[in-house]
Structure 1
Amino acid sequence: MSAEQHGTTVGGAHRFVGLAENLERHAGRPTGAEPPNVRGDNRGFALVFFHLERYHLTTVISSGLRFQPLGAEPAQELACTVYKEQAEAARHLVDMTAELLVNQRTHLVPDQIVPNEQPLLPHTEFHGVLASGHPLFPPEFTRFTDPEGVEQLQVFTLLPVTLGELNFILDNGVTALRQQWARFEVDVFDLGRPSVA
């Protein structure tokens, strides 16, 4: 086997055996999917919808970013969890952020802010997302490992942040914003929530 063939095998889809079951274990029952070519061209990733009945939450997760040349090690996928009625907004946030990463051939790092000049969602103050671990699901959702325990994938959860919160982060850091969210008992899954800054 040549080095090229070996590299293809090592970097192949078999590294992610069990991923679908792992996502379902934490995010709930799969309820639908949007193919990579939903707009005609292949955007490089699909979107999968999961529903967790117990908490009335829908999680939209990208599928395919891990095979894109984004320079991430380990590979990455994106998720956004909201109340079921707001699933379309979560779809938009994951789609938009994933498309940005594919187009710019870049990846996220923990606690990275992805800002936007205009509101990301109509009639809201959300001007960015925070790449985070999941606020509700255990670490096994965020960090997927193979049977040998080697981390193969990080699933970054996108938490919408308001313009005021973006400015607060610039002045005080992400940890300070999390403390504000905790102090005011902010429900980060509710896209109708008020800004804490």
Structure 2
Amino acid sequence: MTTEHERSAMGGAHRFVGLAENLERHAGAPTGAEPPNIRGENRGYGLVFFHLAQYHLSTVISSGLRFQPLGAEPAQELACTVYKEQAEAARHLVDVTAELMVEQRTFLVPDQIVPNEQPLLAGTEIHGVLASGHPLFPPEFTRFTDPGGVEQLQVFTLLPVTLGELNYILDNGVTALRRQWARFEIDVFDLGRPSVA
């Protein structure tokens, strides 16, 4: 038996008319998709892959979290942008974060960190992600509105962070880390980048 909140979360697909075109306008040409049942059972979301040739960037975006009863208002989806060669790693970061949200029936808030005890990506220092607006795309990518201008969806960009940076955030806050990234001209799209903390 579904609750009223679950019914309202699952309905209302009409609110997202034009979303696909909006994502493509900013993230580039769609290059593939992964269905919700790729591992057998329906995990509650799929993944869509985009490529922006101008910047050699690939973006992986979840599709379906907006219909899950996560309690988010407006609804949410996740994105991760990296260099094309690292697209599989971006897929993994979006997948594990979305899976956590569905399992725990929770949502993200701006500047929230999602830490992990072990490296999320083998051979890197990446131990978590930071929920953010997109560093390159305009606000229209992050905040999707209906034709009446009412915000219907937030697309949180997952910025990979190292263990040192996670600890730095705990001590100094997210704004201080962003200042460090700017100071050292850190390329947040490069998963092999050095840690600033």
Q: Report the alpha carbon displacement of residue 124 of structure 1 after superposing the two structures with TM.
A: 0.8
Gap change, CA 1:9 and 1:133, over 3 Å in 2: closer
**Corresponding position of 1:103:** 103
**5+ unaligned residues in a row in structure 2: which ranges?**
none
State the alpha-carbon separation in 1 of the partners of residues 48 and 112 from structure 2: 23
Cα offsets for 1:76-122 (capped at 9, x unmatched): 00000000000000000000000000000000000000000000000
**Corresponding position of 1:46:** 46
State the alpha-carbon separation in 2 of the partners of residues 116 and 103 from structure 1: 16
**Corresponding position of 1:64:** 64
Please show how residues 77-88 of structure 1 align to structure 2 within 5 Å: 77-88=77-88
State the alpha-carbon separation in 2 of the partners of residues 25 and 33 from structure 1: 17
State the alpha-carbon separation in 1 of the partners of residues 69 and 9 from structure 2: 16
Gap change, CA 1:26 and 1:178, over 3 Å in 2: same
Aligned residues: 192
Gap change, CA 1:68 and 1:183, over 3 Å in 2: same
State the alpha-carbon separation in 1 of the partners of residues 10 and 82 from structure 2: 35
**Corresponding position of 2:55:** 55
Please show how residues 19-38 of structure 1 align to structure 2 within 5 Å: 19-38=19-38
State the alpha-carbon separation in 2 of the partners of residues 39 and 53 from structure 1: 30
Instruction: Please say if residues 9 and 67 of structure 2, whose CA atoms lie closer than 8 Å, have aligned partners that are also in contact.
Output: no
Q: Report the alpha carbon displacement of residue 10 of structure 1 after superposing the two structures with TM.
A: 10
**Corresponding position of 2:116:** 116
Runs of 4+ in 1 over 6 A off after TM superposition: none
Gap change, CA 1:126 and 1:83, over 3 Å in 2: same
Q: Report the alpha carbon displacement of residue 15 of structure 1 after superposing the two structures with TM.
A: 0.1
Q: Report the alpha carbon displacement of residue 8 of structure 1 after superposing the two structures with TM.
A: 5.3
Opposite residue 24 of structure 1, the aligned amino acid is: E
Please show how residues 93-172 of structure 1 align to structure 2 within 5 Å: 93-172=93-172
Q: Report the alpha carbon displacement of residue 147 of structure 1 after superposing the two structures with TM.
A: 0.2
Give TM-score scaled by structure 1 length: 0.95
State the alpha-carbon separation in 2 of the partners of residues 153 and 167 from structure 1: 30
State the alpha-carbon separation in 1 of the partners of residues 118 and 53 from structure 2: 33
**Corresponding position of 2:175:** 175
Structure 1 counterpart SS, 2:190: coil
Structure 2 counterpart SS, 1:121: coil
State the alpha-carbon separation in 2 of the partners of residues 55 and 28 from structure 1: 10
Alpha-carbon RMSD across the aligned residues, in angstroms, is 1.4
Opposite residue 142 of structure 1, the aligned amino acid is: T
**Corresponding position of 2:188:** 188
State the alpha-carbon separation in 2 of the partners of residues 193 and 98 from structure 1: 24
Give TM-score scaled by structure 2 length: 0.95
State the alpha-carbon separation in 2 of the partners of residues 12 and 137 from structure 1: 26
State the alpha-carbon separation in 1 of the partners of residues 184 and 84 from structure 2: 23
Structure 2 counterpart SS, 1:128: strand
Q: Report the alpha carbon displacement of residue 177 of structure 1 after superposing the two structures with TM.
A: 0.2
State the alpha-carbon separation in 2 of the partners of residues 9 and 170 from structure 1: 33
